[in-house]
């Protein structure tokens, strides 16, 4: 049986015709064949702008080559006098259709263009190889009548070929190979390269390399919805994706950024929080053509570059232009826009994570960075419930966002308490039940610190949880220095080092604010410093803080405060 991407039982077919052909190919072709269904791509923007390509089915073989296959259902008819094609469905309704041979031929050349620009394919140094196209009409019993000057009978399949479709495929490959005997085999490296480009499987790993083994087994694969959105992003240039905490926004954003860069597009992946940017940069290290930074880090680089090259102090100019403006919200975005205007655009694709935190002034310079704003790629990910910086951004994408609606990070128990503070479209809970959320009750900060110390010691010594799998997050940072000092005085195990996000590493237990921890996660979260929080005014902070926990969530505060933030919010 051939290797299929996806397997027939998981594939979504636009017609029964595609299903019949795909299943027949899967059953009849040998294991050295690879079959990909519903393949689509956008070639890199060039002189004539981006080019879109697609094919119903792609067949690859290490020695025979690659075949682009167009499938047409119904009773297909052709009038050569008018060059019009029609299909008659089961209800005898006539539908005008495109010339399937033109579609297959265009798919062939668009595929070749995509392969030539792809860095993975180029590194394999595959020269001329057997690349053909064909049309299959499984509801037609006399496909020969569709033949013509541009449609030789050798590349037409019909119902008679279904039971021996392996023989038919070999015949089509032979037809194309005899036209150019200088072709070389693509080998298994070539076949695997096609899979990597068009059917790459995606697995998550914990964002900061921390796993609690049993539960993380359920988090490894993309959900169907996440995979579907990645598929849609192959076909569209400007998309907004929204979802609650833990629905996989950052995972998809990172995966899309890596794919675009791997396909040869100069790509920028930006977010708001430095902690998230630092970690994403580490995850994406070694990816050629991919820059990862916060918005303000990008601002700083461009402003500095203009100053070094041209001697202009764009920040001083911005302060003069907006005398009452804020350094980060007004002066830096304006100076950044002026820098891009001077230096010119740079990127063919931009991925924005945490877009809910981007101010209105951020978007102009972002769009200016695109080499072809109307045709380049701009993908924006956001969670309106995480707007804890109180921004209201005019995001430059028309229409409603695509929505991620399954929580894939937390357990069901954590989801229940975190999403109690969520406002928005329904998000389905995860499939992991998990342990109950626990409260550490104490009336004052000194007693609370001791309870946290006892808990950390138990987790590290008795439960063998790694220190870097734990984070203590502060909702209110008004007395942050005192809390950090009290924690430093605790008699913790010698293997534990306390530090902030940027100190993360083996043995480092993170102590930081909820706001700085946005976009990140840990298997174990201790939420602290919420005694003075209001359920209504601080709803987003509570939502973000609780939802950072993957497997275990502890709330440390007074009994009244814990009861208050765990109560049902209406």
CATH number of the domain that residue 523 is part of: 3.40.50.300
| CA-closest candidate to residue 510, choices 461, 469, 459 | 469
Q: Does some domain include residue 335?
A: yes
Q: Who's near 401: CB < 8 A, 6+ residues apart?
A: 239, 240, 241, 242, 382
- Whether 137 and 177 map to the same domain: the answer is yes
Which 8-state DSSP code applies to residue 45? P
Predicted pLDDT at 408:
86
- Whether 535 and 439 map to the same domain: the answer is yes
Q: Is the dihedral of CA 418, 423, 426, 427 positive or negative?
A: negative
Predicted pLDDT at 390:
54
Q: Who's near 400: CB < 8 A, 6+ residues apart?
A: 240
Pick the range with the lowest mean pLDDT from 7-16, 277-286, 506-515, 545-554.
7-16
Could you give phi then psi for residue 268, rounded to 5 degrees? -115, 130
Predicted pLDDT at 221:
55
Predicted pLDDT at 369:
96
Looking only at the bridges linking them, the beta strands covering 131-137 and 156-158 are parallel
Q: Does some domain include residue 208?
A: no
Mean pLDDT value of segment 144-152:
87
Q: Who's near 519: CB < 8 A, 6+ residues apart?
A: 250, 271, 273, 275, 276, 353, 354
* Omega of the bond leading into 6 within 30 degrees of 0 (cis): yes
Instruction: Show the domain range for 426.
Output: 414-566
Counted domains in the chain = 3
Mean pLDDT value of segment 114-133:
90
The percentage of the chain sitting over the pLDDT mark of 90, rounded to a whole number, equals 58
Work out the angle at residue 421's Cα, subtended by the Cα atoms of residues 418 and 425, and round it to the nearest 5 degrees. Answer: 95
Predicted pLDDT at 213:
52
Predicted pLDDT at 418:
94
Among candidate residues 198, 215, 232, the one where a domain is terminated: 198
- Whether 250 and 348 map to the same domain: the answer is yes
Could you give phi then psi for residue 370, rounded to 5 degrees? -75, 130
The percentage of the chain sitting over the pLDDT mark of 70, rounded to a whole number, equals 90
pLDDT tens, position by position, 193-250: 999 888 765 554 443 334 455 566 556 555 556 666 777 777 788 889 988 888 889 9
Q: Report the alpha-carbon distance of residue 287 to residue 281 in Å, rounded.
A: 10
**8 Å CB contact between 176 and 132:** yes
- 92 torsion bin: left (phi>0), alpha (psi -120 to 50), beta (else): left
- Whether 57 and 170 map to the same domain: the answer is yes
- Whether 31 and 138 map to the same domain: the answer is yes
Among candidate residues 387, 405, 423, the one where a domain is terminated: 405
Pick the range with the lowest mean pLDDT from 175-184, 329-338, 494-503.
175-184
Predicted pLDDT at 206:
42
SS (H, E, C) 446-509: HHHHHHHHHHHHHHHHHCCCCHHHEEEEECCCCCHHHHHHHHHCCCCCCCCEEECHHHCCCCEE
Could you give phi then psi for residue 258, rounded to 5 degrees? -65, -40
Q: Does some domain include residue 203?
A: no
Q: Does some domain include residue 217?
A: no
393 pLDDT tier (thresholds 50, 70, 90): low
Q: Could you give the strand order of the β-sheet that contains 94-97, starting from the edge strand earlier in sequence?
A: 75-79, 84-88, 94-97
Q: Report the alpha-carbon distance of residue 556 to residue 500 in Å, rounded.
A: 19
Mean pLDDT value of segment 168-172:
96
Most confident of 35-49, 86-100, 391-405, 556-570: 556-570
Q: Does some domain include residue 212?
A: no
**8 Å CB contact between 513 and 478:** no
Q: Report the alpha-carbon distance of residue 309 to residue 116 in Å, rounded.
A: 36
- Whether 367 and 480 map to the same domain: the answer is no
Q: Report the alpha-carbon distance of residue 242 to residue 251 in Å, rounded.
A: 13
- Whether 333 and 365 map to the same domain: the answer is yes
pLDDT for 32 beyond 60 = yes
- Whether 247 and 171 map to the same domain: the answer is no
E strand or H helix that includes residue 240: strand 238-243
For helices 314-321 and 295-310, give the axis angle rounded to 10 degrees.
110
Predicted pLDDT at 387:
55
Predicted pLDDT at 396:
83
pLDDT tens, position by position, 473-489: 999 999 999 999 999 99
For residue 559, the Cα-to-chain-centroid distance in whole angstroms is: 40
Looking only at the bridges linking them, the beta strands covering 349-352 and 377-382 are parallel
Among candidate residues 348, 372, 405, the one where a domain is terminated: 405
Q: How far apart are the first and last CA of the chain?
A: 55
pLDDT for 183 beyond 90 = no
332 pLDDT tier (thresholds 50, 70, 90): very high
pLDDT for 308 beyond 80 = yes
- Whether 116 and 34 map to the same domain: the answer is yes
Q: Does some domain include residue 206?
A: no
- Whether 269 and 357 map to the same domain: the answer is yes
Q: Which residues of 361-385 are buried (b: 16+ CB within 10 A; e: fewer)?
A: bbbebbbbbbeeeeebbbbbbbbbb
Pick the range with the lowest mean pLDDT from 84-98, 222-236, 311-325.
222-236
Predicted pLDDT at 46:
61
Q: Report the alpha-carbon distance of residue 404 to residue 244 in Å, rounded.
A: 7
Predicted pLDDT at 209:
31
Predicted pLDDT at 210:
41
- Whether 320 and 452 map to the same domain: the answer is no
Predicted pLDDT at 278:
92
Q: Does some domain include residue 537?
A: yes
Q: Does some domain include residue 114?
A: yes
- Whether 492 and 393 map to the same domain: the answer is no
* H helix intervals, 326-474: 332-343, 363-368, 412-418, 445-457
């Amino acid at each position: 049986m051939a290797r299929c991407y996806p397997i027939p039982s998981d594939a979504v077919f636009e017609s029964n015709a595609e299903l019949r052909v795909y299943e027949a190919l899967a059953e009849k072709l040998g294991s050295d064949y690879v079959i990909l269904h519903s393949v689509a791509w956008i070639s890199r923007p060039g002189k004539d702008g981006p080019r879109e390509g697609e094919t119903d089915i792609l067949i690859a073989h290490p020695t025979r080559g690659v075949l682009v296959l167009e499938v047409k259902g119904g009773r297909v008819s052709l009038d050569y006098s008018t060059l019009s094609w029609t299909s008659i469905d089961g209800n005898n309704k006539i539908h005008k259709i495109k010339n399937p041979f033109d579609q297959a031929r265009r798919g062939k050349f668009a595929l070749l263009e995509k392969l030539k620009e792809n860095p993975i394919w180029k590194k394999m140094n595959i020269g001329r190889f057997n690349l053909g196209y064909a049309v299959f009409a499984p509801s037609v019993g006399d496909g020969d009548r569709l033949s013509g000057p541009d449609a030789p009978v050798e590349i037409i399949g019909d119902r008679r070929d279904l039971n021996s479709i392996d023989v038919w495929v070999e015949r089509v490959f032979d037809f194309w190979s005899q036209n150019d005997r200088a072709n070389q085999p693509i080998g298994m490296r070539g076949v695997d390269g096609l899979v990597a480009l068009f059917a790459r499987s995606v697995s998550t790993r914990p964002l900061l390399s921390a796993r609690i083994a049993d539960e993380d087994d359920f988090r490894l694969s993309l959900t169907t919805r996440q995979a579907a959105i990645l598929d849609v992003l192959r076909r569209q240039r400007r998309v907004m994706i929204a979802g609650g905490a833990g629905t996989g926004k950052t995972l998809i954003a990172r995966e899309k950024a890596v794919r675009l860069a791997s396909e040869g597009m100069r790509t920028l992946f930006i977010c708001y929080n430095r902690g998230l940017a630092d970690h994403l940069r580490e995850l994406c290290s070694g990816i050629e053509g991919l820059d990862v930074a916060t918005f303000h880090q990008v601002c700083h680089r461009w402003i500095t570059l203009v100053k070094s090259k041209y001697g202009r102090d764009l920040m001083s100019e911005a302060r003069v232009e907006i005398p009452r403006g804020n350094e980060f919200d007004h002066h830096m975005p304006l100076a950044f826009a002026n820098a891009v205007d001077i230096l010119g655009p740079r990127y063919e694709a931009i991925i924005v994570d945490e877009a809910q935190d981007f101010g209105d002034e951020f978007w102009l310079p972002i769009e200016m960075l695109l080499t072809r704003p109307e045709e380049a790629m701009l993908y924006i990910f956001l969670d309106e419930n995480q707007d804890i910086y109180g921004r209201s951004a005019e995001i430059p994408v028309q229409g409603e966002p695509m929505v991620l609606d399954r929580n894939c990070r937390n357990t069901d128990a954590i989801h229940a308490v975190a999403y109690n503070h969520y406002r928005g479209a329904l998000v389905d809970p995860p499939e992991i039940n998990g342990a109950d959320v626990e409260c550490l009750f104490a009336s004052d900060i000194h007693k609370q610190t001791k309870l946290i110390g006892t808990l950390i010691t138990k987790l590290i010594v008795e439960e063998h949880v790694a220190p870097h799998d734990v984070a203590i997050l502060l909702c209110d940072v008004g007395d942050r220095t005192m809390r950090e000092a009290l924690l430093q005085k605790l008699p913790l195990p010698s293997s534990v080092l306390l530090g902030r996000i940027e100190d993360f590493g083996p043995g480092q237990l993170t102590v930081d604010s909820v706001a700085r921890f946005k976009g990140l996660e840990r298997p174990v979260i201790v939420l602290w410093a919420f005694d003075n929080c209001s359920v209504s005014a601080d709803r987003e902070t509570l939502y973000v803080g609780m939802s950072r926990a993957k497997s275990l969530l502890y709330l440390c505060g007074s009994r009244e405060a814990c009861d208050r933030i765990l109560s049902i919010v209406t």
